[in-house]
Amino acid sequence: MQYTPLDKVQPQYDVVVIGSGLGGMTCANRLAEAGHTVLLLEHHVQLGGLATWFKRGGHIFDVSLHGFPYGMVKTCKKYWGRAIRDSIIQLQHIVFDNPQFSLTTTFSKDDFIRILQERFGVSQTVVSEFFATVDAMNFYDDQRLTTRELFAQFFPGRSDIHRLLMEPITYANGSTLDEPAITYGIVFSNFMNRGVFTFEGGTDKLIGLMAAELLNKGVDICTGARVERILVEDGVTRGVVVKGREIKATAVISNAGITNTIDNLVGPEQFAADFLGRFSKVQVNNSSCQVYFGIRKGESIGNIGDLLFTSTAAEFSSEEMRRMDTKSRTFSVYYPKTRPQAPPDYTIVASMNADYDDWAKLSPEAYRLAKEAMIERCFDDLERYVPGVRAKVDTIESATPRTFHRYTLHTKGTSFGTKFEGLDISRSLHKQIDGLFHVGSVGIIMSGWLGAINYGVIVANDVDSYLRS
């Protein structure tokens, strides 16, 4: 791909987008289509943000391509075109395996209704009422009811059912039982719509198609371009400073985390006290650890499922899931069908929730040992599904919250931005500083691949109106 070297970019644009996550890229795409001049600046050498991949030992590893809801089909067709939409395919085998139950599901509503009745013995009336309640939840509902209270209402004392309903969502975005039930309900309903989907061809293909689309529309793209500062004068955005160079812009959209944007790129001194008061209540979501296994060419692992939610912990606990020695992990299995265009390859990615502070405080030696211990725990668990797996693996890599922080610059390496309160801060940024907008993971609904793209469309519309006015 032919990106623009920083010294060749124009001195002035209608819009500068800081960061090329799915939210940032979608904003750039929509605004270029609307006829605005757009510069996209990315600190990493590769576009995509957390929607990323890397090559090691002849394998390609996907970092966040584990599953998204069916809504991606409509969203991608409308905002990114047919080629991207046509590569979205369903995952068929979602496996749960823990001391309370083991089952395989398509993760669709029909299948969950069947499982809740046949396997967990819940009456049809209760199941129907539960689904009717979560389906009807929307963004403007009362936020006081927590997910814990919602579950207690329909399935009192049934920690096995709470685990079935909650564990995948906690893996997906770190949410806990004590957050507003609407944030759970909206995400759960999105998945229950039709099941879990993936992108055939891999993250590299998706981001390659998106980058080509941006270049076609005339977006200037610079990688290795970390923005140091957003310029603000008299409450109005003037542009950015990147590697010591000033670039002027009528509007700036930050896809850097909302906390980084306010604390480091703009500076709190530019905001009103009441806004900072609300901002101080924003909680950052947890980060992740991952272990990547590449299977030696010629070896097979059989069909063990596409996504395996596995745990040896007695009961579901979002605290347990963030511990360094957690017994809970998701295995995402990538078969040769993931990249039909490439030579056959099997890779497996173990993902765990994690707290940045646990990993940040370790000395270099303690950090190395902690990573080794994590890899061993993943191997032990994987052995249950792929006997003799140690002998089949030729490449191992691992990532911790420190890794996610290094590549994205996100506060505490957060995988899913902030909790729900961050949305109001993100949406009201332009009311504080004219011409400054934020896009990116704030609250569960605006996170994940689908949430980030949809939020990108919303913010692009705001910026388009601003530029036209």
Minimal distance in Å, beta carbon 354 to ligand FAD?
9
The rounded distance, in Å, linking the Cα atoms of 394 and 416 is 31
Question: Which is closer to ligand FAD, CB of 238 or CB of 296?
Answer: 238
| Residues whose CB is less than 8 angstroms from the CB of residue 454 and which lie 6 or more positions away in sequence, other chains included | 71, 75, 446
Question: Which is closer to ligand FAD, CB of 183 or CB of 441?
Answer: 441
Question: In terms of C-beta density within 10 A (0-12 exposed, 13-18 middle, 19 or more buried), how is residue 215 classed?
Answer: middle
Cα separation of the two ends of the chain: 34
CB closest to ligand FAD, residue no: 21
Minimal distance in Å, beta carbon 89 to ligand FAD?
14
Q: Helix, strand or coil for residue 399? A: strand
Residue corresponding to tokens 């890229």:
25
Minimal distance in Å, beta carbon 206 to ligand FAD?
11
Minimal distance in Å, beta carbon 340 to ligand FAD?
20
Residue corresponding to tokens 């003799």:
388
Q: Helix, strand or coil for residue 103? A: strand
The rounded distance, in Å, linking the Cα atoms of 251 and 238 is 8
Q: How many other C-beta atoms lie within 10 A of the C-beta of residue 226?
A: 14
Minimal distance in Å, beta carbon 248 to ligand FAD?
17
Minimal distance in Å, beta carbon 23 to ligand FAD?
3
The H or E element spanning position 86 is none
Q: Helix, strand or coil for residue 304? A: coil
Minimal distance in Å, beta carbon 50 to ligand FAD?
4
Question: Which is closer to ligand FAD, CB of 76 or CB of 161?
Answer: 76
The rounded distance, in Å, linking the Cα atoms of 44 and 46 is 5
The rounded distance, in Å, linking the Cα atoms of 190 and 113 is 15
Q: Helix, strand or coil for residue 360? A: helix
Question: Which is closer to ligand FAD, CB of 68 or CB of 80?
Answer: 68
Question: Which is closer to ligand FAD, CB of 250 or CB of 255?
Answer: 255
Question: Which is closer to ligand FAD, CB of 6 or CB of 145?
Answer: 6
Beta bridge partners of 308: 95, 331
Minimal distance in Å, beta carbon 63 to ligand FAD?
6
Query: What does the binding site for ligand FAD look like in residue numbers (CB under 6 A)?
Result: 18-24, 41-44, 49-51, 63-64, 66-68, 226-227, 255-256, 288, 290, 351, 404, 408-409, 415-417, 440-441, 447-450, 452
Question: Which is closer to ligand FAD, CB of 326 or CB of 415?
Answer: 415
What's at 249, amino acid-wise? Answer: A
Question: Which is closer to ligand FAD, CB of 89 or CB of 126?
Answer: 89
